[in-house]
Chain A
C-alpha cells in the first residue's frame, strides 16, 4: 500500500475542528456505501450517503504524495470536505477497502493536471517578467503620496499631543486609516491602526503612553525610510525588490511565492519541527493570525509560519493547528525578515518524531546568554524590526528569585521569565509550576524576548521546553 496515512496527517489537512468531527461522524454512522482503493494504491475513492437524493462520490488522490487532491460531488466548497476526510478516517479505522480500477474521471483529471504542469513550465513564464512599467510607476507614486499623507497625520497627532486622544480623535484616525487604503499601503494603514487600537483597548491611557510613543516612532520611521525607498524605485523602476529589510512588508506589499523564488529566497529539502503554536486576533489588521514557530533540524534556525484570516471570511479559510510530527519539505519559501523570518510552503510530507530529533533540537539551543542578549538588542534597536524575537535557549536551571521566575545558564547568567503584557501569547510563566521536575533542569526553552521600556528591563516569555524526549508546550 503506497498510502501511509496517520490520524495526525489527516487532521492536518482538515480546514477546522468541525470538519474533523463531521468526518468521523460519517464513519460512525456507516454512511459510506462503497469504499475502494485503486490497484496501484495511489487513490482512495468511495460513495457516501448524503442528505440529498443521490449519494456523493468522493476521492482522495495521492498521485503526488506531498500534495493530495481531494474531490467530491457534494456542494460544500471546503477542501477536503467531510466526505473526503471521512474516507481517509475510514481507511485508518481498518475498514474494508475493495481494490478496484481507478475511476475514469480521476484518470482524466490526472492527465489534465499533468498537461497543465507542462504548459506552466514552458510557455507562460515570459508573462510574469513583462511588468507594466507605467502601472508600476503610478502605483509607486500613489504609495509615496500615501506616506506623505501619513506623515502629516502623524505630525498632527504629535502637535496636539497624545494626551488629547479621545473617542472623537480616535474615530478621525480610523477614518484616516481607512482613507489610506486608496494609496496601496495596507501596511501603513495597519501601523496607524495599531495606535488607535492601543488607545481603544485601554481606558487608562497613562498605562500605554510609553507604548504609544513606540508606535509613533514606527510611523515616523516608516514614512522616512519608506519615502526614501520609493524614491529609489521611482528613479529605477527595473530595480529588484529590496530583500535586505522588511520595508516591503511594512508598506504592505504581499510577497508572491513566485517573486520569492525569483529572488532566490528559497531553501530546499529540509525538516522542520514545530516548537510552539498560537492563534490570536490582530486588532490593527482585523484578522486572525495562526502562527507556528518551527526549528529547522539541520540549521537550527527558528522560523515562523503565518496564516492570516480576515474576520469576515473566517469560516471559509482553513484554520491552522498544532503540529506534532516532523515536517518534510522539498521547497520552503523564506520571506525577508529578521531573526525569525516568515516561511511558507505549498506541499509537504511528514514523519513521526523520534528521540534523535529532540536531541537535534536541543543541540541547536543557544548556550551563551550574553551573546544572545547582544543579538537581541542589536535587532530590537532598529525601529522597524521585529521587537519580540524568539530564541531557543539552553538552560541549567529554572527557579525562583524573590518570587520571580528566572532562567540560568551553565555560567550563572540569568534572564527573568515573565509574560509579555503587550504580546499575543497566552500567559505561560505560571505554568512552570506545573511541569514535571525534569523540565526545569538542563533542558532547552523556546523563549520570546521583549523589552519593557518603563522598567528598562529585557525579559523572556517561555513558550516551550524541549527535553530529551518531548516538547512541553506552554502556548499551543
Chain B
C-alpha cells in the first residue's frame, strides 16, 4: 500500500519537474496524496519526512519551491531505490545446449577494430572483417552481437559478409537469431530469416510461417521465399492469394513457390500471369522448374504464340520493309516464353526451338525492349539462338555453327560460341578468325572479340582470388570460368596484330617470342602502378614463364618509387596494393629475390613487399 503511495508521489513529482516547479504550488494531486502520506508517516518516519517536504512544496512560504521540489524528489527517489522487485514467478526452463564452442580469450584491443568495423560507417571495413575471419577471431563470443548488428548495415557487402560468417556457425546459431525477433523489422531481420531458413529449412517451419503471417516488408518477403525449403500443397490457397499481393517481391516469391508445387491451380495461375503485363515474373520460376506439366503448359502457350507470330510472315516475305506487323504484347509474350525455355533440356523444347530457327530471318525483324527485367537479347531471332546455345546438345550447337556467314552475320556471336564449345581449336580458328580481321571497329570483329573477352582468361593458378572463405571473390574481373577450352596458337598473332592487349596477356605463352616482345613493348607505356595494363602484362609474362620476370618487376618498382610521396599520389597505395596482389602469385623460388629487391627501398611500401616475399616463400605450391 505504501509502496503504491510513494510510486504515485514519484509520478506526480516527475510530472511537475517536467512541467516546471511553479505549477507545483497548490498542486491538486499532491494535495490529495498528502493526508495519506501523513497517515503512513505515523508508522514510518521516512514517510513523515516525505509528507513534511511535500507540504512545503504545496505551500512554500518564503522558501523557493524549486528547491523544495528537488528535496522532495531526492527523498522519494531514495525510498524507491530500496523498493525494486527482484523475483519472478513461474517455471524455470533450461536454455537449450548448443554444439558451438565459443571462446572468450581474445583480448579487447584485438577485438575492438573488428567490432568497430561491424558497427561503424567508416571505409576499409570489409578488409578488416575478412582478415579477422581468416585469423579465426570470429570464434570469440563477443563478436556475435556486432555481427548480427551488421546484418542491418547500409553497405550490402558488409551485410552479406556478416551473413556468410553467421551461416558458417551452422544451425546452433539459430536461437540467438530468433532471440528478440522483430517481425516488423527491417532488412537485418529479413536476413536473419534467410540464414535461419537456409540452415534449418523444414525444422523452423513454425517460425517461418509465423513470419509469413505476422511479418511486414522485407521480413515477409524473406519468409515467403523461405517456404521453398518445405513446399507443401496445403500452402496452395495462401500462395495463390499472395500471388496477388500488393508488394511485387511477394508476388514473385509466391509464383516461385507455386511453380514448385506444380498443382493444377498453380499452373493455371502461372499461365494467367504469363499472359499478363507482369509476365516476366514467371520466367525464373518456370525456368528452374522440372515439372513436366509446367513444360507442357509452356509448350502449349508457345505453340499458340508462334502461330500468331508467323501469321504475318507472309506479309513480310512479300515486302520485307514492313516491320510493324506485330503488336508489342505479342513480342513481349514471345520473349517471355523464350526466356522460360532457356536451359531446359526437354527434347520437345528443342524441337520447338528448331522450328522457330527456321524462321530466323523473319524473327530477326523484331526488336525486344531491353528494359524488361529479365535477361534478353536484341531480337527474337537472337533470343532463339540464345536458347539453342543454352540447350548445349551437339545437335543444337551444330545448328548454330551451320548458320555462320548467313543472315548478314547477325547470329555470328552465337555461331562462334557454339563452335568454340563443339569443334576442334583449328576448326574454330580457320572458320572464325577471318571475321576478326578488322578488329572492334567492324561489327563482325566486335562480335568475335566480344566472345573472346568472355572466354579467354589467365591460367587457374594466376587468377586473383580472395583468400577469404576459400576463394570466393575475384576482385579483378568477374569472368565466368571457362577452363578446358583449348585455343589455336595462331590466335595470338591475330590478337597482337589487332593490339588487343588484355587478350594477348591472357593467352600469353612462352612458346611465342613475338608475344613476349609485344608484352615488353607494352610495358614501356604501362609502368605506373595505376596504368591500365600493368597487372595484366606482368601476369602475362608470368604465364609465359619469362625468365627475366624479376628484372622487369624491379624496373617497375624503381620507376614508381623514384618520386617522393608516390603513395599520396595514388590514394593511399590502392594501386600499389593491387600490384602487390599480383606479386603474390609469383612462384615460391622468387621469394629471396623479391626480398633483396625490397631491401633496396626505404618507404612504407617496402614493408608490404617483405610481407609478400615472406608469403611467397612459405606458400605451398
| Pairing of A with B | yes
Binding site for B on A (CB under 8 A): 11, 16-17, 20, 25, 28-29, 51, 154-156, 158-164, 209-210, 212-214, 216-217, 220-221, 277-279, 319, 321-322, 324, 369, 373, 377-378, 380-383, 397-402, 404, 406, 408, 413-416, 426-427, 430-437, 440, 451-453, 456-458, 471-476
Please tell me if B104 contacts chain A, counting CB pairs below 8 Å. yes
A213's partner among B14, B87, B97, B145 (CB-CB below 8 A) is B14
- Bitwise, B87-102 to A at CB < 8 A (1) or not (0) is 1111111111110111
Nearest B residue to A414, CB-CB: B87
Give residues 163-202 of B contacting A (CB, 8 Å): 172, 175-176, 179-180
Asked if A220 meets B74 with Cβ closer than 8 Å, knowing A29-B607, A163-B19, A456-B83, the reply is: yes
Please tell me if B130 contacts chain A, counting CB pairs below 8 Å. no
- Add 6 more A-B contacts to A217-B73, A221-B74, A457-B86 (CB < 8 A): A220-B71, A377-B81, A401-B91, A430-B176, A431-B141, A434-B102
Asked if A217 meets B77 with Cβ closer than 8 Å, knowing A209-B18, A434-B144, A457-B84, the reply is: yes
**B83→A472 contact, CB < 8 A:** no
**B13→A213 contact, CB < 8 A:** yes
Please tell me if B67 contacts chain A, counting CB pairs below 8 Å. yes
Asked if A277 meets B108 with Cβ closer than 8 Å, knowing A220-B71, A380-B81, A430-B176, the reply is: yes
Point out the residues of chain A lying under 8 angstroms from B602, CB to CB: 51
Measured CB to CB, the closest approach of chain B to A210, in angstroms, equals 6
Chain B at the A interface: mostly helix, strand, loop or mixed? helix
Please tell me if B290 contacts chain A, counting CB pairs below 8 Å. no
Point out the residues of chain B lying under 8 angstroms from A452, CB to CB: 84
A324's partner among B73, B98, B105, B141 (CB-CB below 8 A) is B105
> Which 8 residue pairs across A and B have the least CB separation, nearest first?
A161-B20, A458-B84, A476-B108, A473-B104, A158-B66, A437-B97, A220-B70, A399-B92
Please tell me if B69 contacts chain A, counting CB pairs below 8 Å. yes
Measured CB to CB, the closest approach of chain B to A224, in angstroms, equals 8
Q: How far is the CA of A132 from the CA of B113 in the complex (A)?
A: 48
Q: How far is the CA of A28 from the CA of B611 in the complex (A)?
A: 9
Nearest A residue to B169, CB-CB: A434
Please tell me if B482 contacts chain A, counting CB pairs below 8 Å. no
Nearest A residue to B102, CB-CB: A434
Point out the residues of chain B lying under 8 angstroms from A20, CB to CB: 109
Q: How far is the CA of A220 from the CA of B74 in the complex (A)?
A: 8
- Bitwise, B59-84 to A at CB < 8 A (1) or not (0) is 00000101101110110011111111
Asked if A11 meets B78 with Cβ closer than 8 Å, knowing A159-B20, A161-B19, A430-B145, the reply is: no
B107's partner among A51, A321, A435, A458 (CB-CB below 8 A) is A321
**B73→A220 contact, CB < 8 A:** yes
B113's partner among A17, A154, A324, A381 (CB-CB below 8 A) is A17
Measured CB to CB, the closest approach of chain A to B131, in angstroms, equals 12
**A213→B78 contact, CB < 8 A:** no
**B83→A17 contact, CB < 8 A:** no
How many residues of chain B have a CB within 8 Å of chain A?
Answer: 66
Asked if A162 meets B141 with Cβ closer than 8 Å, knowing A380-B81, A399-B94, A453-B10, the reply is: no
Please tell me if B85 contacts chain A, counting CB pairs below 8 Å. yes
**B20→A160 contact, CB < 8 A:** yes
Please tell me if B132 contacts chain A, counting CB pairs below 8 Å. no
**A29→B92 contact, CB < 8 A:** no
Nearest A residue to B16, CB-CB: A161
Give residues 91-141 of B contacting A (CB, 8 Å): 91-98, 100-102, 104-105, 107-113, 141
Please tell me if B142 contacts chain A, counting CB pairs below 8 Å. yes
Please tell me if B7 contacts chain A, counting CB pairs below 8 Å. yes
Point out the residues of chain A lying under 8 angstroms from B518, CB to CB: none
**A163→B145 contact, CB < 8 A:** no
Nearest A residue to B84, CB-CB: A458
B84's partner among A162, A431, A456, A473 (CB-CB below 8 A) is A456
Q: How far is the CA of A451 from the CA of B77 in the complex (A)?
A: 11
**B175→A433 contact, CB < 8 A:** yes
Nearest A residue to B78, CB-CB: A381
Please tell me if B284 contacts chain A, counting CB pairs below 8 Å. no
**A426→B142 contact, CB < 8 A:** yes
**B85→A214 contact, CB < 8 A:** no
Point out the residues of chain B lying under 8 angstroms from A160, CB to CB: 20
Centre residue among B66, B67, B93, B102 by max chain A CB count within 10 A: B66
- Bitwise, B15-26 to A at CB < 8 A (1) or not (0) is 001111110000
Nearest A residue to B22, CB-CB: A159
**A279→B21 contact, CB < 8 A:** no
**B92→A408 contact, CB < 8 A:** yes
Measured CB to CB, the closest approach of chain B to A385, in angstroms, equals 9
Point out the residues of chain A lying under 8 angstroms from B85, CB to CB: 456-458
**A474→B141 contact, CB < 8 A:** yes
Point out the residues of chain B lying under 8 angstroms from A408, CB to CB: 92
Asked if A17 meets B110 with Cβ closer than 8 Å, knowing A158-B17, A161-B20, A383-B77, the reply is: yes
Point out the residues of chain A lying under 8 angstroms from B145, CB to CB: 426-427, 430-431
Point out the residues of chain A lying under 8 angstroms from B100, CB to CB: 434
Please tell me if B614 contacts chain A, counting CB pairs below 8 Å. yes
B93's partner among A161, A279, A401, A435 (CB-CB below 8 A) is A401
Q: What are 22 A-to-B residue pairs whose CB atoms are below 8 Å? A: A11-B107, A51-B602, A155-B66, A155-B70, A158-B21, A160-B20, A161-B18, A161-B19, A161-B21, A162-B18, A321-B109, A382-B78, A400-B92, A400-B93, A400-B94, A401-B90, A414-B87, A431-B142, A433-B176, A436-B97, A474-B142, A476-B107
